[in-house]
């Protein structure tokens, strides 16, 4: 395995809630603390799931060649490792019907699982054969999840399978952040209907995010001094049981006033940032709330005429990803919500996602650096608005208040409700046909 891959392939590659058993309540910080203290025994079922996933991830990295030799055995062993001590059925194909949380798709009956897995195994043995490694890995992941061969952990096994294919192609792993759960499930739903392009587009974003992280890591490595001085012998301090006790429980040594002051400073800064995040989140929540209220009123008035407005909620930005965007790290787009308007003959759909504010707007004072950007679905992909007859282009935050921006970055002066109603009216006029 190349050093390029070795630098990235480690359990901390699982961002958010460890590449997600989606119901696992461990936060990113709790996960990293558990991973770093890996020798300790799991104290809860969730910690057991976390440790199992790390073990399965490490086993996958070391046994990529086994995937092509015995694809079914590879997949079943991953499931068994993930469910070790959690479910007795780990590694065994399911014997009953199952449903997929958050999706309308119904997996095939249990008796179909063995033959379908045999076909999947043959396709995995056949390999890429001229296809894009990313597209092939996405397709295999989708097929496994749609078969849903196991009682539990199908998604985790599918993501490990996808990354095993990428590793076999000398590519870095793709990390699916917990923040993007609904977008991921939405892409899977499209895949189950025969359109894999939304999932591939999403994975490309995640892939670029990993490349960006790797590039940053290598840049930092390149600027390290070429020569490291020989370590000098440092005189050992006299035994001090009080100092040792503080060190053992992770507290700064009481005799270091600078350390103590800085610890308090950092703690206060963290509290301030968390408070700012909560305020930011609550303010942006009003956009979703107003959109839902308008949709409810719209449907009550116009459904009998063949019109309907649907608001689809995805994910609010987590505090961890919020901080990443503020630091201008490259991250996958977190979809917030979409609005679809249907008429008797056609429909249109727009999506709001979070991103860092463009540099040409960033010079304004008291403007928050994270905004909601509006894109429209053109029938195949979501596209940024350019010359479309839509006034609203993005929503920001200035002086603690929502700031609505038009095509040239100019501020739109009106109430939230009025601006959103204008947006939906313009969408209907431009894209919902009546003849």
Q: Where along the chain do its domains lie?
A: 3-216, 265-431
Neighbours of 364 (CB within 10 A): 13
Report CA-CA distances (Å) from 242 to 236, 237, 245, 255, 257.
16, 13, 5, 10, 16
Residue 25 to residue 384: CA distance in whole angstroms? 34
Tell me the CATH class for 3-216.
mainly alpha
Taking the alpha carbons of 170, 171, 172, 176 in that order, is the dihedral positive or negative? negative
Q: Count CB neighbours of 238 within 10 A.
A: 6
Q: Would you call 194 helix, strand, or coil by DSSP? A: coil
Looking at residue 44, the DSSP 8-state letter turns out to be S
What are the pLDDT digits (tens) for 78-94? 999 999 988 999 999 99
Distance CA 133, CA 173 (A): 12
Q: Is 177 exposed, middle or buried (0-12, 13-18, 19+ CB in 10 A)?
A: buried
Show the low-confidence residues of the chain (pLDDT under 70): 1-43, 101-104, 211-256, 359-365
Q: What is the pLDDT of residues 197-231, one digit of tens each?
A: 888 888 888 877 776 666 654 434 333 333 333 43
What pLDDT is attached to residue 186?
Answer: 82
**DSSP secondary structure code for residue 318 in this structure:** P
CA 307 centroid distance within chain = 33
* Alpha carbons 401 and 399: distance in angstroms, whole number: 6
């Amino acid at each position: 395995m190349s050093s390029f891959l070795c630098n990235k392939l480690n359990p901390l590659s699982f961002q958010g809630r460890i590449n997600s058993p989606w119901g696992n309540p461990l936060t990113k910080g709790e996960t990293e603390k558990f991973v770093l203290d890996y020798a300790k025994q799991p104290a809860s079922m969730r910690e057991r799931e976390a440790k199992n996933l790390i073990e399965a991830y490490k086993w996958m990295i070391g046994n990529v060649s086994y995937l092509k030799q015995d694809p079914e055995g590879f997949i079943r062993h991953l499931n068994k490792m993930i469910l070790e001590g959690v479910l007795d059925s780990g590694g065994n194909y399911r014997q009953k019907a199952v449903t997929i949380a958050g999706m309308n798709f119904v997996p095939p009956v249990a008796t179909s699982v063995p033959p379908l897995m045999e076909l999947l195994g043959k396709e995995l043995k056949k390999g890429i054969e001229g296809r894009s490694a990313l597209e092939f890995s996405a397709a295999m992941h989708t097929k496994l999840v749609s078969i849903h061969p196991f009682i539990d952990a199908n998604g985790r096994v599918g993501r490990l399978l996808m990354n095993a294919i990428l590793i076999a192609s000398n590519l870095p792993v793709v990390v699916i952040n917990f923040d993007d759960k609904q977008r991921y499930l939405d892409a899977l739903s499209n895949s189950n209907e025969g359109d894999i392009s939304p999932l591939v587009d999403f994975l490309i974003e995640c892939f670029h995010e990993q490349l960006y992280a790797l590039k940053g890591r290598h840049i930092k490595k390149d600027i390290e001094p070429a020569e490291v001085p020989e370590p000098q012998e440092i005189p050992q301090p006299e035994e001090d049981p009080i100092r040792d006790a503080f060190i053992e429980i992770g507290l700064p040594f009481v005799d270091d006033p600078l350390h103590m002051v800085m610890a308090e400073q950092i703690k206060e800064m963290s509290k301030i940032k968390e408070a700012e995040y909560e305020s930011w989140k609550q303010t942006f929540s009003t956009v979703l709330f107003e959109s839902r209220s308008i949709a409810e009123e719209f449907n009550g008035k116009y459904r009998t005429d063949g019109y309907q407005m649907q608001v689809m909620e995805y994910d609010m930005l987590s505090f961890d990803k919020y901080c990443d965007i503020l630091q201008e790290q490259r991250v996958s787009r977190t979809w917030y919500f979409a609005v679809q308007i249907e008429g008797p003959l056609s429909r249109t759909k727009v999506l709001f996602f979070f991103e860092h504010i463009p540099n040409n707007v960033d010079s304004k004072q008291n403007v928050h650096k994270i905004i909601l950007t509006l894109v429209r679905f053109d029938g195949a992909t979501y596209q940024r608005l350019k010359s479309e007859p839509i006034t609203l282009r993005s929503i920001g935050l200035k002086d603690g208040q929502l700031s609505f921006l038009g095509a040239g970055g100019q501020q739109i002066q009106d109430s939230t409700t009025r601006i959103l109603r204008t947006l939906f009216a313009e969408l209907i006029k431009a894209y919902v046909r009546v003849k």
